[in-house]
């Protein structure tokens, strides 16, 4: 089948890479793609808005469209593709509210008894500040809209809460969610969803702040380990109390969920609770999880799009995978661009996924905040991390930022061989 992938970051590079291993795929097209993706797929420019993307899928004769980023999903690209009868792996605009509108998402969780942090939603600065000022610290302030993972602030004092809320409400029409701070290990559980059924992928753990020891501002994610060692009981609880109720609730509300249901969870003393839902592959979770997928990604995605996913299709290899992100100086603020990059060739169990890169003439350069995702697979997490960290001196670029403590939260340190 011919597959069109929408997006041009590290996540989409990992998706395209997985599609090259899918026996059912005859051709991969990606829009807009990036220089790394261009080595594995035909990249075509297109205005990244639903009518243009749907027209491209039609003119390309795509048998399946896989949508990477949240932006086109929130804008309704799935609806535009479905209207043309093109199978699409991604939720409708209504279902993508699970990620795109945190106020709606929290209310959905309450309606369906899905465990999550205590919260209140606000449409104005004054009431939000009044509420925050009487809450125990730390507290979590979230922008209710899409902010590429950077709309969340953990506030340890009222000054931080004031700055975070003032920033959110500086935009007209903004809304904020204020939540209790949950304590525990944070885990990303992504599931393939076909409208009625959600089948878990391997669990993973992202590291969201820019600096080691979970310090500094939030980013889109700086490194991932996979699998996170969830117990079978925890996986069962997540299925029964979180994923299945979402699938039932979305179907009951006439917005069945198709695509990747990404549950960002906190393993609290009271059990797993939802930090947030996303409506797509995590980035950089995809870069860590997909190299371990042994099922045919295109067949899985098509089965989801057609509402007939068989759990037996979702198979993973043993072993472990680790990702470390190399970010440009300035990120998560304004990143420096146009930094020359020079990538070494790597072995079969290692990938350098390109996230924000561009060509300037013959030179590969950085083109955004998170530039590269270096991934390795090995028998254990310690060995996978060892492979990644051993490669970084060869991959690094001028003033690159990266975390040195990926895996440490669960007591794993890189093992060099
Ligand atoms: N890694 C976090 C996200 O994809 O939102």
Q: What tens digit of pLDDT does each residue of 352-392 get?
A: 999 999 999 999 999 999 999 999 999 999 999 999 999 99
Q: Do 131 and 73 belong together in one domain?
A: no
pLDDT range class, residue 277, cuts 50, 70, 90: very high
Distance CA(353)–CA(287), nearest Å, equals: 7
Distance 280 CA to ligand 1 centre (A): 9
Cα 210 to averaged position of ligand 1 atoms, centre (Å): 13
Domain that holds residue 161: 118-180
**Measured between alpha carbons, how far is 193 from 257 in angstroms, rounded to an integer?**
7
Radius of gyration of the chain (CA): 20
In a domain, 155, yes or no: yes
Supply the DSSP string of 225-240, one letter for each residue.
Answer: EES----HHHHHHHII
Both 20 and 78 in one domain: the answer is yes
177-200 average pLDDT score: 97
Q: How far is the CA of 413 from the centre of ligand 1 (A)?
A: 23
Does 35 fall in a domain?
A: yes
Atom of ligand 1 nearest to the CA of 276: 5
The confidence band for 207, taking pLDDT boundaries of 50, 70 and 90, is: very high
CATH number at residue 88: 3.40.50.20
Domain boundary among 37, 62, 95: 95
Residue 189 Cα to ligand 1 middle (Å): 11
Lowest mean pLDDT among 81-90, 93-102, 143-152: 143-152
Structure confidence at residue 181 (pLDDT): 95
CA of 367: how far to CAs of 46, 162, 252, 328, 337, in Å? 18, 32, 43, 9, 5
Q: Tell me the pLDDT of the chain averaged across its residues.
A: 96
| Count of beta carbons in the 10 Å neighbourhood of residue 358 | 17
Query: Are 89 and 147 in the same domain?
Result: no
Q: How many domains does the chain have?
A: 2
- Among 129, 151, 180, the domain-final residue is 180
Asked whether residue 376 is domain-assigned, the answer is no
Does residue 275 form part of some domain? no
Model confidence at 180, in pLDDT bands (50, 70, 90)? very high
User: How many whole angstroms from 277 Cα to the centroid of ligand 1?
Assistant: 10
| d(CA 285, ligand 1 centre) in Å | 7
Residue bearing the CA closest to ligand 1, atom 3? 282
Q: Does 317 fall in a domain?
A: no
High-pLDDT (> 70) share of the chain, %:
100
d(CA 159, CA 6) in angstroms, rounded, equals 40
- Are 372 and 351 in contact by the 8 Å Cβ rule? The answer is no
Mean predicted confidence (pLDDT) in 195-216:
97
- Domain stop point among 64, 95, 126: 95
Query: Rounded CA gap, 22 and 5, in Å?
Result: 14
**Per-residue pLDDT at 237 exceeds 70:** yes
- Whether 411 is in a domain gets the answer no
Query: Is the omega angle on the peptide bond into residue 32 within 30 degrees of 0, that is, cis?
Result: yes
- Across the range 23-35, mean pLDDT stands at 98
Confidence (pLDDT) at 144: 86
24 & 83 share domain: yes
Do residues 12 and 89 both lie within one domain?
yes
Mean pLDDT of 83-92: 98
Is residue 90 located within the same domain as residue 123?
no
Please report, for the domain that includes residue 161, its CATH number.
3.30.1490.20
Pocket test for ligand 1, best of 284, 288, 324, 406 (most atoms within 8 A of CB): 284
Ligand 1 center from residue 362 Cα (angstroms) = 31
Q: For residues 46-54, give the mean pLDDT.
A: 98
Residue positions counted in the chain: 417
Residue 13 shares a structural domain with residue 75: yes
Report yes or no on 174 lying in a domain.
yes
Same domain, 137 and 89: no
- Among 259, 263, 285, which is best to mutate for testing ligand 1, by the most ligand atoms less than 8 A from CB? 285
- Same domain, yes or no: 129 and 89: no
Other C-beta atoms within 10 Å of 113: how many?
9
Ligand 1 mean position, distance from CA 283 (Å): 5
* Cα 71 to ligand 1 centre (Å): 13
* Mean pLDDT value of segment 144-149: 78
User: Which atom, in ligand 1's list, is nearest to the CA of 11?
Assistant: 4
- Please state the rounded mean pLDDT for residues 388-403: 96
Tens-place pLDDT, residues 4-25: 999 999 999 999 999 999 999 9
Tell me the pLDDT band of 149, cut-offs 50, 70 and 90.
Answer: low
Q: Which residues partner with 323 through β-bridges? A: 224, 375
Task: Identify the residue whose C-alpha is closest to ligand 1 atom 4.
Answer: 282
Task: Check whether residue 149 and residue 88 sit in a common domain.
Answer: no
For residue 59, the model assigns a pLDDT of: 98
Give me 225's structure tokens: 């380990």
∠ Cα 61 64 70 (to 5°): 120
Residues with CB under 6 A from ligand 1: 149, 206, 220-221, 278, 282-283, 285
Predicted pLDDT of residue 8: 98
Same domain for 19 and 85, yes or no, is yes
Distance CA 249, CA 42 (A): 38
* CA 207 to ligand 1 center in whole angstroms: 9
Residue 146: inside a domain, yes or no? yes
Which of 147, 151, 282, 324 is the pocket-test mutation for ligand 1 (most atoms within 8 Å of CB)? Answer: 282
Pocket test for ligand 1, best of 283, 325, 406 (most atoms within 8 A of CB): 283
pLDDT at residue 168 tops 70 = yes
Q: Say how many C-beta atoms besides its own lie within 10 A of residue 160's C-beta.
A: 17
Q: Are residues 57 and 128 in the same domain?
A: no
Report the atom number in ligand 1 closest to the C-alpha of 282.
4
């Amino acid at each position: 089948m011919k597959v069109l992938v929408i997006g041009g970051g590290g996540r989409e590079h990992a998706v395209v890479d997985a599609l090259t291993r899918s026996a059912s795929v005859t051709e991969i097209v990606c829009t807009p793609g990036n220089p790394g993706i261009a080595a594995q797929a035909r990249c075509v420019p297109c205005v990244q808005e639903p009518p243009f993307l749907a027209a491209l899928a039609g003119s390309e004769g795509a048998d399946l469209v896989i949508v990477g980023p949240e932006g086109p999903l929130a804008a309704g690209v799935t609806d535009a593709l479905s209207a043309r009868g093109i199978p699409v792996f991604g939720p409708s605009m209504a279902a993508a509210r699970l990620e795109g509108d945190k106020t709606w998402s929290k209310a959905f969780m309450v309606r369906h008894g899905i465990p999550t942090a205590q919260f209140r939603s606000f449409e104005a600065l004054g009431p939000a500040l009044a509420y925050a000022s009487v809450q125990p610290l730390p507290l979590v302030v979230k922008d209710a809209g899409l902010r590429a993972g950077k709309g969340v602030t953990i506030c340890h004092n009222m000054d931080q809460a004031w700055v975070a809320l003032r920033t959110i409400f500086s935009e007209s029409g903004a809304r904020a969610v204020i939540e209790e701070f949950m304590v525990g290990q944070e885990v990303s559980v992504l599931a393939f969803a076909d409208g009625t059924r959600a089948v878990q992928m391997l669990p993973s753990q992202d590291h969201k702040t820019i600096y080691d020891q979970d310090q500094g501002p939030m980013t889109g994610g700086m490194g991932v380990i996979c699998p996170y060692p969830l117990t079978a009981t925890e996986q069962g609880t997540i299925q029964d109390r979180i994923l299945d109720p979402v699938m039932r609730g979305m179907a009951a509300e006439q917005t069945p969920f198709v695509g990747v249901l990404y549950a960002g969870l906190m393993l609290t003393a009271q059990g797993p609770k939802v930090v947030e839902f996303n409506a797509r592959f995590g980035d950089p979770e995809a870069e860590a999880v997909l190299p371990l997928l042994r099922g045919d990604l295109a067949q899985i995605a098509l089965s989801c799009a057609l509402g007939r996913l068989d759990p037996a299709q979702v198979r993973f290899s043993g072993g472990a995978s680790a990702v470390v992100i190399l970010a440009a100086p300035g990120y998560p603020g304004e990143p420096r661009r146009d930094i020359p990059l020079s990538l070494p060739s790597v072995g079969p169990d290692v990938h350098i996924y390109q996230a924000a890169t561009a060509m300037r003439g013959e030179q590969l350069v950085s083109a955004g905040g998170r530039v590269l995702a270096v991934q390795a697979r090995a028998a254990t997490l310690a060995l996978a991390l060892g492979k990644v960290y051993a490669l970084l001196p060869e991959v690094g670029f001028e003033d690159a930022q990266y975390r040195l403590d990926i895996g440490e939260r669960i007591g794993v340190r890189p093992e060099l061989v």
